[in-house]
C-alpha cells in the first residue's frame, strides 16, 4: 500500500503506523481539512470527501465539548460490522494534526490502532520541523494549492 | 471480575492478569504489576487471538481453549472465555504453566 505526503516529514511515521496497526486507510490533515499525507486512498475525490468530513466531525465535536464546558474529545471511534473508523487530534509545534484511520475488523482492532496511534503522535511530534510557520493558504490560491496537493498525494 | 483475576494473580510468578475484549483489544479489567503496559498486552493478545482463530478455522481443527507464548523475558498465557473475553496472564518465564492454565480456565468460567 502506497503512502504519499505533501509534508514529507510525515511520511515515515505514517508508513510505520500503517504497517504496525494494519490500518487500511489513513489521512493526516489539519483541522481545516488540508491534507498532509494519505495512505490507501486510490481516488482524489475520496481524499477530499474524507478530509472534509473528518474536519467537520472534529469541528462539531469540539464545539459540542465547548457547549458542555469540557475539554475537546480526545478521540472518536466508530465500529461498524466490518470496519472501524478512528478519528483523533494531537498538537505539534506547528498546530494541530488530525488523524483519520479506517481499519478492517478482521485484520486490526481498536486496541492496536490506539496503541500505535500513540507512537504515531510521538513520531510526528519528533519529526515536525521546529521553529517554522506553516504556509497559509489564501482563498485566492485555494484551488491551485488543492490541485497541487492532490497531484502530490496521487503521484501525478 | 476482579475476583476472577485474583484467582490468576495469586499464582507465584504471575506478574499480572487481565480481561480483554477479543473483538477490539481493549482492557476490560486488569491487575498488573508496575511496568506492564496493559493496553499493549491487550492489543497484542486480541490480535493474536483473532489470527489464531482464523488459522485454526482454516485448518479445520476447531477453536483454541488455551495458548501459551514464551518470550525471552516473560510468558503470555491466554484462555478465550465465552462472550468474547480473553483471560490473559503475564508471567515470569519459569512460572508453573499448568497451575496458571488451571486458574485461567477457572477465571474464564467465573466470568461467564
- Find where cell 475484549 sits: B21
Give the residue on B whose Cα is nearest the Cα of A104. Answer: B24
Q: What is the CATH number of the domain that holds B86?
A: 3.30.450.30
Q: Do B43 and A109 touch (CB under 8 A)?
A: yes
**Interface contact B55, partner A, CB < 8 A:** no
A28 burial (CB, 10 Å; 0-12 / 13-18 / 19+) is: buried
Q: What is the CATH number of the domain that holds A93?
A: 3.30.450.30
- How far apart CA A147 and CA A154 sit, in angstroms, is 11
Range name among A132-136, A141-145, B30-34 with the lowest pLDDT average: A132-136
Q: How many domains does chain A have?
A: 1
Q: Do B23 and A105 touch (CB under 8 A)?
A: yes
A94 or A47, which is more confident? A47
ipTM over 0.85: no
Give the residue on A whose Cα is nearest the Cα of B20. Answer: A111
Q: How many contacts, defined by CB atoms under 8 Å, are there between A and B?
A: 37
Residues of B in contact with A109 (CB under 8 A): 23-25, 43, 46-47, 50
Q: Do A109 and B54 touch (CB under 8 A)?
A: no
- How far apart CA B3 and CA B71 sit, in angstroms, is 28
pLDDT digits (tens, 9 = 90+) for A92-135: 988 899 999 999 998 899 999 999 999 999 999 999 887 766 66
The domain in which residue B14 lies consists of 2-110
Query: Cβ of A86: how many Cβ atoms within 10 Å?
Result: 22
**C-alpha distance from B10 to closest chain A C-alpha (Å):** 27
What mean pLDDT is reported for chain A? 87
Give the residue on B whose Cα is nearest the Cα of A84. Answer: B24
* Residue B18 reports pLDDT greater than 80: yes
- Give me the residue from B40, B47, B54 closest to A109, CB to CB: B47
* Torsion sign, CA atoms B96, B55, B18, B81: negative
Per-residue HEC secondary structure of chain B comes to: CHHHHHHHHCCCCEEEEEEEECCCCCEEEEEECCCCCHHHHHHHHHHHHHHHHHHHHHHCCCCCCCEEEECCCCEEEEEECHHHEEEEEEECCCCCHHHHHHHHHHHHHHCC
**C-alpha distance from B97 to closest chain A C-alpha (Å):** 27
- The C-alpha angle with vertex B47 and arms to B42 and B49, in degrees rounded to 5, equals 95
Give the pTM: 0.80
- Beta strand A35-39 with A25-29: parallel, antiparallel or unpaired? antiparallel
Mutate which: B23, B24, B36, B51, vs A, most A CBs within 10 A: B24
Give the residue on B whose Cα is nearest the Cα of A78. Answer: B24
- Give me the residue from B25, B40, B54 closest to A109, CB to CB: B25
pLDDT digits (tens, 9 = 90+) for B61-83: 888 899 999 999 899 999 999 88
Q: How many domains does chain B have?
A: 1
Amino acid at each position: 500500500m502506497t503512502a504519499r505526503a505533501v509534508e514529507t516529514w510525515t511520511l515515515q511515521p505514517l508508513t510505520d503506523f500503517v504497517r504496525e496497526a494494519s490500518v487500511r486507510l489513513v489521512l493526516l490533515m489539519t483541522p481545516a481539512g488540508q491534507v498532509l499525507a494519505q495512505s490507501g486512498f486510490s481516488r482524489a475525490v475520496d481524499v477530499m470527501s474524507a478530509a472534509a468530513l473528518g474536519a467537520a466531525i472534529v469541528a462539531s465535536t469540539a464545539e459540542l465539548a465547548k457547549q458542555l464546558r469540557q475539554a475537546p474529545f480526545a478521540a472518536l471511534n466508530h465500529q461498524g460490522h466490518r470496519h472501524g473508523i478512528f478519528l483523533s487530534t494531537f498538537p505539534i509545534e506547528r498546530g494541530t494534526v488530525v488523524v483519520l484511520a479506517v481499519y478492517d475488523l478482521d485484520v486490526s482492532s481498536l486496541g492496536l490502532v490506539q496503541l500505535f496511534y500513540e507512537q504515531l503522535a510521538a513520531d510526528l511530534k519528533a519529526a515536525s520541523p521546529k521553529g517554522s510557520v506553516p504556509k497559509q493558504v489564501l482563498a485566492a490560491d485555494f484551488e491551485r494549492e488543492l490541485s497541487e496537493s492532490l497531484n502530490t498525494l496521487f503521484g501525478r | 471480575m476482579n475476583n476472577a483475576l485474583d484467582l490468576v494473580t495469586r499464582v507465584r510468578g504471575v506478574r499480572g492478569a487481565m480481561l480483554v475484549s477479543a473483538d477490539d483489544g481493549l482492557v476490560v479489567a486488569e491487575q498488573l504489576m508496575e511496568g506492564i503496559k496493559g493496553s499493549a498486552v491487550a492489543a497484542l493478545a486480541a490480535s493474536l487471538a483473532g489470527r489464531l482463530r482464523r488459522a485454526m478455522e482454516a485448518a479445520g481443527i476447531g477453536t483454541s481453549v488455551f495458548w501459551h507464548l514464551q518470550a525471552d523475558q516473560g510468558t503470555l498465557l491466554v484462555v478465550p472465555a465465552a462472550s468474547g473475553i480473553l483471560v490473559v496472564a503475564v508471567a515470569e518465564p519459569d512460572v508453573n504453566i499448568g497451575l496458571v492454565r488451571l486458574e485461567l480456565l477457572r477465571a474464564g468460567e467465573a466470568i461467564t
